[in-house]
Amino acid sequence: MTRNRLYLILSLALTGGYAWLIWAFYSHKNSPAGFSPCIIKNVTGIACPSCGATRSLLHLLNGHIKEAVLTNPIGLIIAIIMVILPVWLVYDCVTGKETFYKNYRTFEKTIVKKWIAIPLIVLVIINWIWNIQKGI
């Protein structure tokens, strides 16, 4: 994937993520009981590994860190990405450098190594089981 295509996709994803978060922040109190935007949960009735991430981010926005972690720790990772990534992308675009792209390529090569991929997959599965157990 080229640098420009990656930066475009990430910019669109960030824009969508911020739009979703703003919508959820202002309308979550008006959502019908039992409403879930998760397609997997709506089809299967079972929470996916990222179910609760929006609620986790909303807890963070309200300053409730403990509740955010207990709702879904993936929300913390998403929050960090949503804060750092736009700054990094703008920095690269303004300076004409490819620091994020180079790090992304290195990450892409590193994450496929079994000794890294397997523990990450196990963590996602544990989070998934935890989500199901909590009844998210």
Q: Which domain holds residue 128?
A: 3-30+38-134
How many Cβ atoms sit within 10 Å of the Cβ of residue 74? Answer: 19
- How high is the pLDDT of residue 117? 94
What would the two tokens of residue 118 be?
């397997």
pLDDT in tens, 100-120: 999 999 999 999 999 999 999
- How high is the pLDDT of residue 35? 61
Report which of residues 23 and 121 the model is more confident about: 121
Query: What Cα–Cα distance (Å) separates residue 65 from each residue in 21, 69, 100, 114?
Result: 17, 6, 28, 32
Q: How far is CA 93 from the centre of its chain?
A: 23
Query: 39 pLDDT band (50/70/90 cuts)?
Result: confident
pLDDT of 32 over the 60 cut: no
The mean pLDDT of the chain is 89
- Give mean pLDDT, residues 58-87: 93
- Give mean pLDDT, residues 57-61: 91
How many domains does the chain fold into? 1
pTM of the model: 0.81
**DSSP annotation string for 92-124:** HHHHT--HHHHHHHHHHHHHTSHHHHHHHHHHH
